[in-house]
Amino acid sequence: MSVNISDLAVGTEIGSRSIEVTRADLVKYAGASGDFNPIHWNDRFAREVELPGVIAHGMFTMGAAVQLVTDWIGDPAAVVSYGTRFTKPVPVADLDGGPGAVVEVAGVVGALDAEAGTARIDLTVTLDGQKVLVKAQATVRLA
């Protein structure tokens, strides 16, 4: 899919999705990333360091959220920059393989740069109605 800058305006919605996160997802991400911090797999340890329990890796959450943008633009290489601030952890309950958390992501066009041929996509990323990422913004190169 090719997205044309002429078809967009500030405020254009690019879509939304729910991301179901399981403990198995966290184990897979730990293996892929090499981040085996016990806060991402051990409830007792996570509570000892004053977390609500096992939490998702911040980079897992960030990466899962930007998938909305890459699916919309149709080419992951079109994302030229992406950044965010982490504001709240994403606790992931142990539910025998079911989703232990459901993260909601919505995206809108926040700015357009016709000269550069880019759009800034602003993502709203929440868990139970509370933002877990703020200033989640991706700049994409458009056709």
Instruction: Choose which CATH entry (3.40.630.30, 3.30.1330.10, 3.30.450.40, 3.10.129.10) describes domain 5-141.
Output: 3.10.129.10
Domain locations in the chain as residue ranges: 5-141
pLDDT at residue number 2: 77
pTM of the entire predicted model: 0.93
By the 10 Å C-beta count (0-12 exposed, 13-18 middle, 19+ buried), 64 is classed as buried
16-53: pLDDT as tens digits: 999 999 999 999 999 999 999 999 999 999 999 999 99
**Model confidence at 96: pLDDT above 90:** no
- Per cent of the chain over pLDDT 90 is 94
